[in-house]
Structure 1
Amino acid sequence: MVPDSDSVRVYTVNGAATGSSSSLPDWLTRKRAAKGKGKKRIIKDQIEGTIELIQGFEFPEASNRVKTTRDGHHVIATGTYKPQMRVWDLDQLSLKFERHSDAENVDFAILSDDWTKTIHLQNDRTIELHTQGGFHYRTRIPRFGRSLAYHYPSCDTYVSASGNEVYRLNLDQGRFMNPLVLEEEEDGEILGVNVIDINQAHQLLAFGIDGNGTAQFWDPRSRSRVGTLRLPRDRLMPVGSRADNLSVTAIASRMDGLSYAVGTSTGHTLLYDIRAARPFALKDQGYGLPVKTVSWIEGGSRMAGDGMVLSADKKVIKIWDRNTPASNFVSITPATDLNDVHHLPGSGLVMTANEGIQMSTFYIPQLGHAPRWASFLENITEEMEDQTTRSVYEDYKFVERSELKTLGLDHLVGTPALKPYMHGYFLSLKLYDTARIIANPFAYEEHREKMIREKMDKMAETRIRSKKEPGVKINKALAEKVLRDAEKAKQRAERKTKRKTAAELMDVDEGEEENEEPSRPNLLSDPRFAKVFEDPAFAIDENSREYALLNPSSVAQNSGSRQKTAVEEEEEESDRPSSDGLGGSDEDENEDDGRDVSSDSSAEGELTKFDPRSRPGQRNFRAEEVYQREKEENRKGWMAKKKVNMVPMRPQAGGQRSSDKTATFGQRRAPVASTSSKKPGARRSNAQQDDAPMEISWVPSSGSGGKDDGAGKRRDQSGNEKGRRKGVESFGAGLERGFEEHAELADSDRKGRTHRRKGVRSGSKNVFRRMDG
């Protein structure tokens, strides 16, 4: 398929596709392609690679001429090598037969409506007649022939050759008649007659002269010349060239009997009305090569209309309108040089005879319908067009009702200007563009600025710059948070590695941390979320209400001017040290401590940045360290302000301090008169002694059911001494590790059960057994 600039599609249904020409001959290209492949592989490539409309539509080396019969059921073509004629049956789309000859064919004509009777002009000055049975008769002409035409009313065959004579062979009488002698005038010498045309309307003969640039018209009834057509040499010949090089190489008459198409040796096609001496249209092929074929395309056209002209040289086929010759309806450039082009009347099919093995066939749906014997081509091409067409309504724009109201065209609802479809309308593209410009005059400028900005950004990406985070154009705060979380995860992994040895020695829940899920790619490294940091459409609006609901801590940290709620003020008051004797006021504490409590540089923001809701069970080690440090500093500051010296307590018994460690809490709490209280002025009341600060420590015993006497021995509730159990390690607070070894174990406990249970339900059979008493 070859798309044309005017959206006219050309489908190659036989032969090589256009634009694939090669300097190597076709047979050598095939031989190289088939080298190293089997026969089945070659056949498979031919079937899958191209569409073969007519099977075996080819010659061993090249083809010379191609024509179809008037009944439209057969194709006849001649070619070489060896010189031969081939006939294809179009109803079967295959070769019917081939017939060889002694000399290469120059031209041939079909005498009957079918393929049974033909006449051939050979390059050895012979004329052969062929019938259904084969070769029928052969005769010779004095000079080498150039063209051949058959006049049906008189059964005369006109044969043109070099020189000024046109030979007449009457097939009814079976003999040559007097030839037509073309008269030489002041135009120049006649070197030969290149082409013969017989008008189907009034049977006027037209001869294309070689050498003097003229075309002569003869009446077959009087066998005399009725007119001479002289080509405009000044318009056709280039400056400085010889005037006698202009020749007529192709002629075709239209069915109206008045119009003629004349092809020249300079690559021009002229359209004439025989009532006027000047051409009304001129077409240049562009290559300067002689025109091989010209023909009128009549009937069957869809988009082309009447009066289309086909002109071809050996390089290109051009189909154009007679009224606008400057523009082409379609242009086809085959892969090989052309020898002949034939258009099937009333269809869009064009066949070519060329200098290649395969003969080409092109189907142009816009030119005409497919012939009856190839009607399936229309279904194939329609499916291909549906696959390649972007939109069914190319000249329409689909708009919704809201957009229609924005453009100010909602008053057109219900009129033929709008075509309802689904939830909107189809609007003419021209009307849509006009309305959009009126509604927004700066639409083009905005679009232009956007395109320029995108182009500048694309150019800026190619510049050499310092290394940055790849792909982070927007949401930089989110990217920093992702990197920060990744760094923290790395630090946690390092700390876990350091605690690995201790976790192996102690049977604690450390193993659960080792079984954490494997590391997964984060947002920056995951390609699925690449557009989050590149496309502006995914930019996070930190000022929106939704962002504040999802990230309350970040919003509270960033908005310093926000007023606090009543609950927050109450919580802040409860967190402050009380103003009684224990803690003092905030002002006193700030003055005594010498620092501002509200501005802790090391811990500020650490607790607010941690959100346990994001990952349940996660520990913030940094926050715990800061909390312990602040707790210790506050405790030291409070003790320094009160000037309290903490000393270990001594247990008391009977009003005297004793070294008995088994003293109860009440014995320790009982007041006693110290030696310092005997001094004058040093007496204290019982209340003051009761309120004196005191440090209490509690050490759990090694067992829950006994007491420890301090010598490493355990005592039970009755006071009896009980030694440590062998194989059991105690940590205090009732924590133990290991098991107690028993000297003697029963055989059933040591080896397990050795016989089957009796009187119970079997696990292998769904039955109940009887219980023995």
Structure 2
Amino acid sequence: MGATQDPSAVKVYTVNGEASSSSSSLPDWLTQKRQAKGKGKRVIREQVEGTIELIQHFEFPEASNKIKTTRDGHHAIATGTYKPQIRVWDLDQLSLKFERHTDAENVDFVMLSDDWTKSIHLQNDRSVELHTQGGFHYRTRIPRFGRALAYHSPSCDTLFAASGPEIFRLNLDQGRFLNPLVLQGDGEDIPGVNVIDINPAHQLFAFGVEGNGTVELWDPRSRSRVGILRLPHERLMPLNATALPALPGIDDGTRPAPLSVTAIASRQDGLSYAIGTSTGHTLLYDIRSARHLALKDQGYGMPVKNVSWIEGGSRMAGEGYILSADKKVIKIWNRNTPESNFTSITPARDINDVHHIPGTGLMLLANEGIKMTTYFVPQLGPAPKWCSFLENLTEEMEDQTTRTAYQDYKFIDRSELAKLGLDHLVGTPTLKPYMHGYFVSLQLYDAARVIANPYAYAEHRERMVQEKMEKLAETRIRAKKDSAAGARIKVNKALAEKIRREEERARKKEERKTAKKAKAQTVADGQGDAMEVDEEGGQEKEKEAGEEKPSLLHDPRFAAVFEDPEYQVDESSREFALLNPSSVAQRQNREAGRPRGKTAVEEEEEESDKSSSDPLSESDESEGDKSGSESEDSDDAGELWQDSIRARIAARNTGPKPTRGPSRRDPKVRLVPLQAQQSGRARGADKDATFGQRRSQLGSKGKQRASTQDADVHHTADGVEMTFIPRTTSSGADYDDEPGGKAAQAKGRTKEPRRKGVEVFGAGMEKGGEDPEVEMAESERSGRTKRRQGMRSGSKNTFRRM
């Protein structure tokens, strides 16, 4: 038993014969080969596994032509070949009842009674046979080769459609032929009639005509045509088939392409008709309108074999489903939405006839294969009474998986075939083409694989041994550190070690920050005895916070990153090199044996770690006493910058002072600071005073206004009047404010002696000579003792908080 693989689609179960192409099935050549052997337990297992035979011996020696069930629903009758024969199955017993052989192949047949006892058969040699319960009863012939057969029960007339415009009538009550019904068409010759339908509601005859695409409706009481239905020729025919080629001496090539009616089915309401055409279309008509209600295309362009209305039993949408079948596919669709299919079935063999058991979800197929096929669609209707167990069986089969692999054959593609050296067997019976590859015997595949790679077994054995050794290594006793987190780390060990180092560094920084905060708070409050208590309390709080903080190594959401080999980071890939260029360079240097120099970031981090591990110097402590509040502000919790600048300064101050070396001979340029020119009482101020001090003196004594004749005075926004004049020039006496200038001589200043080896140039610049020994204060010598505020660190890429 097979079912469709798409879970969202309608389930279609194959309960007899070969599964459809949408289901998984063995190839025909493999099935026939195993059936030919006919012996062994494997053959029995292959026939039973994944399949079910609903009706025993539901088959013909070569092919089947037509299949029907009796009106009482207890028997199924089918005709087939070869040799031409008729077979009857007892559905209550699910087995073959009997079979009869005929002289000619059957074209069509009709059951005359409610059971199997009386039937009439149309043969392909123009003969008509009547069969009864005892066997063959009577044979007669018709003038032309027959195509279809129908029985009109009120008048006991049997209608035969043949290759011509006549509809032959055989009255079974009188036992003689009656005058035929001659179809006139539209005044043109009719090459034949393909199908006959008798409406069960009002007994109206419908004849499907070949060639002109019409359906003629006849009244059996008046034996005359009461209407004609013309199909839309332009809508159904393809664009490139609008006309037939011209026949010399017969026509001029203006004949339209033939459109034939190949199937007709009338509904029980007496108004609706379903008509199948030779172009693969199915049209729905209401006899009160000449326009079709719906149009369905089978998609293959082949003549429609069967059309039927599915009445009763539908579990999906009640009534209104139509079954249309051509040679390749069966489509079940709703008459209101013909563009979408309820389900579509593609059998493994070409279809000759389809019979749907009314009121159920079971369909019987006559095909070109040996086994006839039976499909069961639970969503279409229930199972018949004679196989009610089928519903329970299909429900159990839904949870089982269908067979998708072969035990005796191996599927390989073309590339693998070339690797094994078997490509020269393409086209021979050894390789069975299937989809994009071939099926090859499993024994041949194993032999070819060993020949192509003689060390395959040795490599496999070595790989298995290595896996076992790794499993044994995991059971060894490890250190406590590894047993906690490293025991489950099987892949990405470098990444795990990096994460562990980062977490350890973050933990140490948090501990140092807590210690600094506790010490700064103790110094500020003057409680030296409580320092140890605060430190211990801070450390305990930090430890508790560290335990509550989740770790990436212990997070179960990321456990697969360190356990599943599928998440192994490929460090040799190009993507990894683009994301981690420094790591790749280090690995290449390590492999080549070249020493690796530390980057600026690594040196600064290492120096920071070393300096942070040294104890604080006494100078830091005294500085902290002087400015405890400032230390507290600079070391607030949550700062991004954690480097200890004070420790560096203390280490530099406690070390040996560098000795001053010999004076450099290269010329030096000493920039002389610009000084503001003062006027009035402010000129007697201190010469070495800064600009801010002079400004305060001006503010205390009163602002001096510059004379209107002083062109060098500039007024600032805050009211200060100033001018900037260089002290010296290249000549040394060009400016009045210089010692040798005119202003200096007028004031009685004496010219300062020029220093030896000093060359004056430009505006207040000198070069040469020796720097005088200048006594520097301790604060100027040691440099800054406080951290800069609002500075950006290039190495840490962070901002310090103001």
- Per the shorter chain, which TM-score range? 0.5 to 0.7
2:514 corresponds in structure 1 to 562
* Distance (whole Å) between structure 2 residues aligned to residue 535 and residue 367 of structure 1: 58
Alpha-carbon distance in 2 for matches of 1:24, 1:123: 35
- Secondary structure of the equivalent of 1:257? coil
Q: Which residues in structure 2 correspond to 1:421-440 (within 5 Å)?
A: none
- State the distance in 2 between where 1:302 and 1:290 align: 30
Post-superposition offset of 1:159: 0.9
2:266 counterpart of 1:253: yes
- Amino acid of the structure 2 residue aligned with 1:146: R
Aligned CA distance change for structure 1 residues 263 and 278 (closer, same or farther; 3 Å): same
| 1:384 CA displacement | 3.9
Equivalent residue for 1:15? Answer: 17
Change over 3 Å in CA distance of 1:3–1:224 after alignment to 2: farther
554 and 29 in structure 1: CA distance in 2 versus 1, 3 angstrom threshold: closer
CA pair 527-92 structure 1, distance change in 2 beyond 3 A: farther
Asked whether the equivalents of residues 20 and 335 of structure 1 are also in contact (C-alpha less than 8 Å), the reply is no
CA displacement, residues 601-649 of structure 1 (integer Å, 9 cap, x when unaligned): xxxxxxxxxxxxxxxxxxxxxxxxxxxxxxxxxxxxxxxxxxxxxxxxx
Matching residue within 378, 388, 400 for 1:375: 388
Superimposed CA distance per residue, residues 581-611 of structure 1 (whole angstroms, 9 cap, x where no aligned partner): xxxxxxxxxxxxxxx9x969xxxxxxxxxxx
Find the residue that maps to 1:49 and give its secondary structure. Answer: coil
Q: 1:442-453 residue pairs with structure 2 within 5 A? A: none
Does the C-alpha gap of structure 1 residues 3 and 554 become closer, same or farther in structure 2, counting only changes over 3 Å?
closer
2:305 corresponds to 1:353: no
2:246 alignment partner in structure 1: none
Tell me how far 1:17 sits from its aligned partner.
1.3
Q: Which residue of 1 aligns with 2:130?
A: 129
Q: Distance in 2 between matches of 1:210 and 1:526?
A: 83
Matches within 5 A, 1:367-516: 367-385=380-398
Letter in 2 for 1:15: G
Structure 1 residue 7: Cα displacement: 2.6
Distance 1:566 1:372, change over 3 A: same
In the other structure, the counterpart of 2:222 is 222
Which of 285, 293, 308 is equivalent to 1:280? Answer: 293
Shift of 1:156: 1.0
What is the CA–CA distance in structure 1 between the aligned matches of 2:125 and 2:164, rounded to whole Å?
16
1:99 aligns with 2:112: no
CA contact (8 A) 2:9 2:343 kept: no
Alignment of 1:311-330 (within 5 A): 311-330=324-343
Q: Residues 165 and 362 from structure 1, CA distance in 2 versus in 1: closer, same or farther, beyond 3 angstroms?
A: same
Paired residue type of 1:230: R
Partner of 2:236: 236
Deviation at 1:112, TM superposition (A): 0.7
Aligned partner letter, 2:131: H
Distance 1:9 1:141 in 2: 45
Partner of 1:161: 162
Alignment of 1:70-219 (within 5 A): 70-186=71-187, 188-219=188-219
Aligned to 2:323: 310
> Is the contact between residue 167 and residue 176 of structure 1 (CA under 8 Å) also seen in structure 2?
yes
Structure 2: distance between partners of 1:559 and 1:525: 23
Distance 1:78 1:155 in 2: 24
Calculate the TM-score normalised by the size of structure 2: 0.50
SS of the residue corresponding to residue 44 of structure 1 reads helix
Identity level (%)? 67
Contact 1:155-1:172 at 8 Å conserved across structures:
yes
Supply the distance in 2 between the matched residues of 1:311 and 1:13 (Cα, whole angstroms): 21
- Alignment check: 8 A CA contact 2:355 2:363 kept: yes
Q: Tell me: CA distance 1:274–1:541, structure 2 relative to 1, closer, same or farther (3 Å).
A: farther
Q: Measure the CA separation in 1 of the matches of 2:8 and 2:210.
A: 37
Distance 1:535 1:289, change over 3 A: farther
How far apart are the structure 1 equivalents of 2:83 and 2:494?
69
Shift of 1:326: 0.9
1:579 paired residue number? none
Q: Where does structure 2 lack aligned partners over 5 or more consecutive residues?
A: 244-255, 402-469, 519-530, 537-610, 616-802
Q: CA deviation at 1:41?
A: 3.0
Shift of 1:180: 1.1
TM-score (norm 1): 0.52
Residue 439 of structure 1 corresponds to none
Q: Could you say if the C-alpha distance between residues 57 and 526 of structure 1 is closer, same or farther in structure 2, counting changes exceeding 3 Å?
A: farther
SS in 1 for 2:48: helix
Shift of residue 541, structure 1, vs aligned partner: 12
Instruction: Supply the RMSD in Å over aligned alpha carbons.
Output: 3.7
Tell me: CA distance 1:235–1:134, structure 2 relative to 1, closer, same or farther (3 Å): same
Q: 1:121 touches 1:128 (CA, 8 Å); kept in 2?
A: yes
Change over 3 Å in CA distance of 1:554–1:535 after alignment to 2: closer
Change (3 A) 1:47 1:562: same
The number of residues matched between the two structures is 437
- Matched with 2:542 is none
For residues 193 and 54 of structure 1, do their structure 2 counterparts lie closer, same or farther at Cα, with a shift above 3 Å needed?
A: same
Q: State the one-letter code of the partner of 2:167.
A: V
Q: Is the contact made by 1:127 and 1:139 (CA closer than 8 Å) also made in structure 2?
A: yes
CA, structure 1 residues 29+305, in 2 after alignment: closer, same or farther (shift >3 Å)?
same
Asked whether the 8 Å contact 2:306–2:353 carries over to 1, the reply is yes
Change in Cα spacing, 1:321 to 1:560, as seen in structure 2 (3 Å) is same
| Residue 669 of structure 2: aligned partner | none
Q: Which stretches in structure 1 are left out of the alignment for 5+ residues?
A: 389-485, 491-516, 544-550, 571-595, 601-773
Post-superposition, which runs of at least 4 consecutive aligned residues in structure 1 deviate over 6 A? 20-25, 519-527, 531-536, 539-543, 567-570
